[in-house]
């Protein structure tokens, strides 16, 4: 998913991309960005911190 987002960004940075393709790439990128953001949020919810007493706590 993150690799796909990088590919979209690289495609948008090209000088020869048409306006129509730019809009399609933008929409695809925004969809991927939203999915990536949700994935990161889910991982953050699962991250636990180990304290000095060996106990775990949510981050």
- Taking only the tens place, the pLDDT of each residue in 17-45 is 999 999 999 999 999 999 999 999 888 77
* Model confidence pLDDT, tens digit, residues 46-59: 777 777 777 777 76
Q: What is the domain range of residue 49?
A: 2-58
Judge contact between 5 and 36, C-beta under 8 A: yes
Residues pairing with 49 in the sheet: 57
Burial 23-55 (b: 16+ CB within 10 A, else e): eebeebbeebeeeeeeeeeeeeeeeeeeeeeee
Q: Which pLDDT value is given to residue 59?
A: 67
Residue that has been written with the tokens 């304290």 in this structure: 51
- pLDDT surpasses 90 at 9: yes
Residue that has been written with the tokens 């699962």 in this structure: 46
Domain total of the chain:
1
Q: Which pLDDT value is given to residue 53?
A: 77
Residues pairing with 56 in the sheet: 50
pTM over 0.85: no
């Amino acid at each position: 998913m993150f690799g796909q987002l990088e590919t979209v960004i690289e495609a948008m940075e090209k000088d020869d991309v048409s306006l129509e393709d730019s809009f399609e790439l933008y929409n695809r990128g925004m969809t991927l960005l939203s999915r990536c953001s949700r994935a990161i949020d889910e991982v953050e919810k699962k991250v636990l911190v180990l304290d000095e007493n060996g106990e775990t706590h949510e981050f």
